[in-house]
Structure 1
Amino acid sequence: MKLLQKFGIAALVITSNALMCSATYAAESITIGSANFPESQLLATIYASALEAKGIHTEKKLSIGSREVYMPALLDGSIDLIPEYAGSVLLYFNKATKAHSSTDVRSELPKVLPGKLVALPPSAAEDKGILSMTEKTANQYHVKDISDLAPHAKDFVIGGPPEMKDRHEGVPGLSQVYGLNFKSFKALDMGGPLTLNGLLHNQIQVSALNSTQPELKTKNLVALTDSKNLYMSQNVFPLIAKSKLTPQIQTVLDSVSAQLTTSDLISMNQRLTNLEPIDSVAKDWVRSHHLADK
């Protein structure tokens, strides 16, 4: 009888411990989503790899769709975390915002987020619209910032997507904010082959690109700084459900954001363009930044 009682108590203790472990595991388990483009999938996989390296179980739901699809999923608990871009999230919740600088966007964002969500500190990495020139042309005319175009704009052709002709973050804004009036505007594409070909063959001297395009490195292009914040800041940051935010999870995600740069995204996007697997590219970044064992 005593032996049976002994085994019974032991079994009870084992069961109790197992339940406690299971509860702890559940508390430190997180579902990470992404939008339906490679850079978002890459960022989600970086978050997952860094969290897994610290013993936090993750499940990935990549390529969910547009913000109109994945934001409701975040709010209803279908996913717990997603990599986001600060300016775009602010516009999603407040279309009337006038904030453009990183400081202003970061200040306004928590004020418009639903109570269920937390915007963790952003990284220095940004994927946003920029103006670009070839390194040769930029050096020839001593252009580093958009404002440096002032003496030359009248002789330059600017190229980009057709909508750039009428949007504020395009020809009108360049005139209103920077006082730039270009020789002409050429409707091409957004950082695609038409724009790149025109820039590289000097058919246009200034172009609209995205700040994380691999061609900025592979084609020796220069991203002009935007000292007057015409283009809305788009710092990458983790957007997480408040119910899933623990000190350990925040520490890991903060350590990713503290080290992620725009230059990193350019290099990693180049690897994705070369058809390297997202998992490999993400894990290489996590290991090289000492966020996981070698």
Structure 2
Amino acid sequence: MRTRTATGGIAAIAAITLAAVAACSSSASSSSSSSASASASSSNPLSSGGSSTSVVVGSANFPENELLATVYAQALQAKGIKVSTKLNIGAREVYYPQVEKGTISIIPEYNGTLLTVEVDKTSTAKTTAEVDAALAAKLPSTLQVLNSAPAQDSDSITVTQATANKYHLKSIADLKPYAATMALGAPPEFKTRTDGIAGLKATYGLTFKSFVPLDESGPLTLAALQDGKVQAADVFTTTPQIVTDKLVSLADPKFNFAAQNVIPLVYKPAMNATIINTLNAVDAKLTTEALLQMDNAVITEHANYSTVAAGFLQAEGLS
């Protein structure tokens, strides 16, 4: 799942975000408004067709996506692009049409979900390369995806550090000798999803002792892991408790779960070389580990989104 590790950069991000926590304790909602007010006013992104120096960066209505939009906006501002933000727009069915018509110029997306929910519901693409190619081939003519980041917010089979150490677990494949002794926790629909119980059996030969229906990478799942009610669980790879509870997301070398790389979805007429190169440079540095550290800072530690975004860009030499 993770294709690049930047330990030094992550350490720097962690140090900066700790300072951010000490300096401020703004909530997600207040950070949203501060991000928006700090942004420069934009003109209509349609006005300069293909050579825009003014864009609108949007986000969906959850913290990680708002954080990513803030990272994109700050990186572009550092390159002299006039940026305004429209954060917490709503779900994909709300913001996708706005990007398609150019009201929003740029929004952080997740390639696998974008493909199968909005672009091609019949797609069976799994790997990052397959998903990105399918998107490029099927997106409407006004839209484009730029380079995907190594960072993924995807399903994973996750265990405690103690379980990983006990059985020497690094990938889902390593569970095969032990799955029959373990309870697996996941949302109820995992029982019938093609990448759920059936997928784990078909892809890795895993048959768990029992299945415990829980919530979607939420408090019930995390508590069940820590309490030993389940020994493995479906947890999203950027869930902050992976850091705070010292959990281990097992690698998925056979792609049971489709890629969910962070990727900029953009309105093509509003793009120019500076915008494209800047966003691609950001995503080249954005690993799952870095995103997880930033999510932990803003969600768990209540650090200011703008400060955390600036810390990442500074640590990676992007500001």
Q: Please give the alpha-carbon distance, in whole angstroms, between the structure 2 residues aligned to 1:45 and 1:152.
A: 42
SS at match of 1:63: coil
SS at match of 1:280: helix
1:287 maps to 314
Q: Please give the alpha-carbon distance, in whole angstroms, between the structure 1 residues aligned to 2:318 and 2:206.
A: 45
Does the CA contact (< 8 Å) of 2:101 and 2:142 recur in 1?
A: no
SS at match of 2:88: strand
* Structure 1 unmatched ranges of 5 or more: 1-21
Q: Does 1:95 find its partner at 2:121?
A: yes
2:269 maps to 243
Q: Please give the alpha-carbon distance, in whole angstroms, between the structure 2 residues aligned to 1:166 and 1:256.
A: 37
1:163 maps to 189
Change (3 A) 1:23 1:71: closer
Which deviations, in whole Å up to 9, do the C-alpha atoms of 1:118-163 show, x marking residues without a partner?
A: 1101110010111100111112112211111111111100001111
After TM superposition, the structure 1 = structure 2 runs for residues 186-225 of structure 1, keeping only pairs within 5 Å, are 186-225=212-251
2:102 maps to 77
1:28 maps to 53
Q: Please give the alpha-carbon distance, in whole angstroms, between the structure 2 residues aligned to 1:100 and 1:38.
A: 26
2:89 maps to 64
Correspondence for 2:205 among 152, 174, 179: 179
Does the CA contact (< 8 Å) of 2:48 and 2:270 recur in 1?
A: no
Shift of 1:23: 7.3
Which deviations, in whole Å up to 9, do the C-alpha atoms of 1:253-291 show, x marking residues without a partner?
A: 111011011111111111112211211111111122221
What TM-score, normalized by structure 1, do the two folds share? 0.89
Shift of 1:27: 2.7
Q: Does 1:252 find its partner at 2:282?
A: no
Change (3 A) 1:23 1:109: closer
Letter in 1 for 2:199: G
1:268 maps to 294
Q: Does 1:146 find its partner at 2:146?
A: no
Q: Please give the alpha-carbon distance, in whole angstroms, between the structure 2 residues aligned to 1:47 and 1:227.
A: 29
Shift of 1:54: 1.1
Q: Please give the alpha-carbon distance, in whole angstroms, between the structure 1 residues aligned to 2:156 and 2:173.
A: 13
Identity of aligned residues (%): 41
Letter in 2 for 1:35: A
Letter in 2 for 1:127: D
SS at match of 1:97: coil
* Structure 2 unmatched ranges of 5 or more: 1-46
SS at match of 2:156: strand
Q: Please give the alpha-carbon distance, in whole angstroms, between the structure 1 residues aligned to 2:48 and 2:191.
A: 56
Alpha-carbon RMSD across the aligned residues, in angstroms, is 1.5
Correspondence for 2:140 among 94, 108, 114: 114
2:256 maps to 230
SS at match of 2:109: strand
SS at match of 1:128: coil
Correspondence for 1:278 among 290, 293, 305: 305
After TM superposition, the structure 1 = structure 2 runs for residues 4-23 of structure 1, keeping only pairs within 5 Å, are none
Q: Please give the alpha-carbon distance, in whole angstroms, between the structure 1 residues aligned to 2:251 and 2:237.
A: 10
Shift of 1:28: 0.2
Computing the radius of gyration over CA atoms, which structure comes out larger, 1 or 2?
1
Greater strand content: 1
